[in-house]
Chains A and B, each alone.
Chain A
Amino acid sequence: MITINELAFSWAKKPIIDIKALTISKGQHLFIEGPSGSGKSTLLNLLAGVLTPQQGQISILDQDINQLSASNKDSFRADHIGFIFQQFNLIPYLSVLDNITLPCSFSSVRKSKALQQSHSLNEEAKRLLKTLGLTEYDLLQRSVNELSVGQQQRVAAARAMLGSPEIIIADEPTSALDSEHRQAFIKTLFTECEKADITLIFVSHDKGLKHHFDHHINLIDINQVNLQEAV
């Protein structure tokens, strides 16, 4: 599903990532552990095709993404990968509905997949929110600023899942949540990913979450560049 081979990336001539090999198979829930500054975000950006490595290949769904043009990379990302970030996932001036359906503006693939699930994007957004435990009827039209952090993260998850992308990359999605919400959030996420057969890459420095995952990697182990020392 995802294959990384001899990947090396440096920013401003400073090496940040150097990974010999990494394979993630379809449907896998992978926990990538790494302290802050270990190159987690850089790795995610490389996977998303936002950053281009100086060396090596990243192959996603049998496609070497670095052989794609920049705009094709963006389309590829929009079509196949959903993201959940630590915080501020949502665009403040858009409603909950607009935030959730945002990927459909950039990916017709996900739009059509979403419409296979429900007969409208609105319905699909509602369905996803419902599965994520957000059932308030007027939520879709609300401004995202009115939501709690936990609600915001679930809205972000709904957006990541809309149109069933093959991969969801979650970058510390639970760090802003308290532990109770955290467990619940992870559980819902897992359930939904399994249902839709989504490969989940979960990045966190929180070792306490490791036990939820069947696969886990410590970035320090696989990244040849020891950033800790460099810092």
Chain B
Amino acid sequence: MAIFSLAFKSLWNRKLTFFITLFSIAISVALLLGVQTLKNETKTSFMKSISGTDLIVGARGASSQLLLSSVFHIGNTTNTIKYDTYQEIASAPAVKWAVPISLGDSHKGYTVMATELSFFEHFSYASKQTLALQSGKISDDMFSVVIGADVAKKLNYKVGDSVVMTHGGGEIDGHDHDNIPYFISAILAPSFTAIDQTLIISLEAMQAMHTEDHGHFGALPNEQTINSEDAHAHHSEHEGHEGHDGHDAHDGHDGHDGHDGHNGHDGHNGHEGHEGHEGHEAHDGHEGHDGHEGHDGHEGHDGHEAHEAHEAHEGHEGHEAHEGHEAHEGHDAHEGHEGHEGHEGHEGHEGHEGHEGHEGHEGHEGHEGHDAHEGHEGHEGHEGHEGHEGHEGHEAHEAHKAHEAHEAHEDHEGHEGHEGHKGHKGHEGHAGHKHNETADQRVARMLKIKPDQINAIFIGLTSPQAVLGMQNYVNNYQAEPLSAIIPAVALQELWSFFAIAEVALNIVTVFVVLVGLLGMLSIILMSLNERRREMAILRSVGARPAHIFSLIIGEAVAVCFAGIAAGITLLYILLFSLQTPLANNFGFYLEINMLSFNDLMILATIQICALMIAIIPGSLIYKTSLSDGMSVKF
């Protein structure tokens, strides 16, 4: 019978104490490895909070503060930067993309973040994963909100639900922006980042809530009342709004999906073009042109063909086509467009061809009206010409403006995207919803104010080499004091704050393991006395003291080894059973990996410690077996 089997039988004979020792070691090992795993996973998850963003720009301050507020939505977000600054930085040559974000509002304790649609395209986390949708579809509607997975889950929200934001962190009651409700357009899939606890709205909507009078637009200049019928008229009056480029007009239309009322708006559309023509008195005249009657005036333009020398005028013939518009009020406006195609000579008008795509929206009466808009914009330019007959110099200029507007259209292939915007069709269902919009919302929708100030900008650069240069550029930005942080570096810095907690945790777990091992030592020591006789018998049949010694050492090593094995098993059982609850309840995704080299080294250390500790009882029994010999004196 081998010594090994003897040792095993001896151990089995003391199975209760054996299992207790084993279990105490197993628990301490599981705890130690568990803490290591949690620590690593927390760090990994922390480091995965943002990726693919090369720089985060914010007001000058501590990098950790900017990181905490922009990425983790923790802490004060009072420091702001100018929107102009964003625009300037975004246009820097090294910048591939830049997404502004604005914080400060909340919804039932969850952060509300205002940004642009491009956020969803550019923001990424973990291994450059972009945010995925769980349900719904990201809408470009101004008052749509995209909510994080946790928000949806905890508050039980569905796509289409209406939510109201609260000013600030929600500490003070009565600061709800209840005049501007949002509808949930999409719910994001869990990313296990701060985004899960965030509601994402548009910057314009954020600004709408935070105008001087907290989004209560009430009476605007030159305006006495707001009612839904008249609401459109405001367009013409907002001449001062540069923001009302033709593009915005589109957006406005989105709201008007399929409304017969558009026909009435056509006149309005004409006005949008006017917006481009800011300050042109001729516009006032246009207001009078509610219908395309204004276009009749264009006919007069024909006479202006003398101006055809202006490229812009080449299209004047097209104006004649506008007369067609008059006739085409309403859906016929399309055809009017086709007439516009006549303007092809105008680069801007080429854009119209693009709009023909809209015709594809034939189902969308509203769109058609839209098309009419575009056409009108061009016309507006021309209308300007009418007024400017005398102002020949101006004509060209104005025409250009109009063209620019068109060009903008072209750039905004998103409009062409409108062709494909089934979303619009989809929203037709929402049409009723929109009809219930508050007056403030309608006004805000028309105003489309970009915010003056934002909190941070996420920037992606064209090349990684540009990071330091760009950071330097931002840090030395003249117009206002800014800081640019490299997310990976800032995360690392921030994580180092937790180093002390990490050390404390390590110390605790080391002591837990030590306690486990000491428990084993005391149990072995206690067993020695009762085993002295056993040892004497073994000595009498020829066992060497070395056998006795190795019996004890072997036992300790075996107990420890079994304890470690049980501990690893216990750890994985715990990890697998905690993975889902942790993800569901704490938004913490615990990735289960194989034991790392570091873990194995720790386990080897524990095993070696057990061996060293066992030398104590081993040498004790060695001595007693030498002195006891074969006869145990009790």
Contact = CB atoms under 8 A, between A and B. Distances in A.
Interface of A: 11, 41, 44-45, 48, 50-51, 70-71, 74-75, 77-79, 83, 85, 88-94, 98, 101-107, 159, 171
Contacts of B534: 91-92
A78 B541 contact: yes
Interface of B: 1-3, 6, 9-10, 12-13, 533-534, 537-547, 626-627, 629-633
B537 A45 contact: no
- With a 10 A CB-CB cut-off, give which of A50, A71, A102 has the most chain B CB atoms: A50
A98 B6 CA distance: 9
User: 8 closest A-B pairs (Cβ-Cβ)?
Assistant: A78-B542, A93-B13, A106-B542, A50-B629, A45-B629, A41-B631, A83-B540, A74-B544
Contacts, number: 80
10 contacts: A48-B630, A50-B539, A74-B542, A77-B540, A85-B630, A85-B631, A88-B533, A93-B10, A102-B537, A106-B542
A98 B1 contact: yes
B541 A102 contact: yes
Contacts of B633: 41
Contacts of B538: 91, 102
Grouping DSSP codes into helix (H, G, I), strand (E, B) and loop, the B interface class, with mixed when no group exceeds half, is helix
A39 to B, nearest CB: 11
A71 B544 contact: yes
Nearest to A88: B533
A172 B1 CA distance: 28
Contacts of A83: 540-541, 630
Grouping DSSP codes into helix (H, G, I), strand (E, B) and loop, the A interface class, with mixed when no group exceeds half, is helix
B579 to A, nearest CB: 42
Nearest to A95: B9
Contacts of A105: 1-3, 6, 541
Contacts of B543: 74, 78, 106
Contact of A91 (B537, B542, B544, B547): B537
B629 A90 contact: no
A52 B539 CA distance: 15
B79 to A, nearest CB: 74
Contact of B540 (A85, A92, A98): A85
Contacts of A98: 1, 9
A89 B544 contact: no
Nearest to B13: A93
Contacts of B539: 50, 74
Nearest to A48: B630
A106 B546 contact: no
A75 B546 CA distance: 12
A11 B537 CA distance: 21
B285 to A, nearest CB: 112
A107 B542 contact: yes
Contacts of A103: 541-542
A104 B1 CA distance: 7
B544 A48 contact: no
B628 to A, nearest CB: 9
B1 A102 contact: yes
A90 B537 contact: yes
Contact of A75 (B6, B542, B629): B542
Nearest to A71: B544
Nearest to B1: A105
Contacts of B542: 74-75, 77-79, 103, 106-107
A101 B1 contact: yes
B3 A44 contact: no
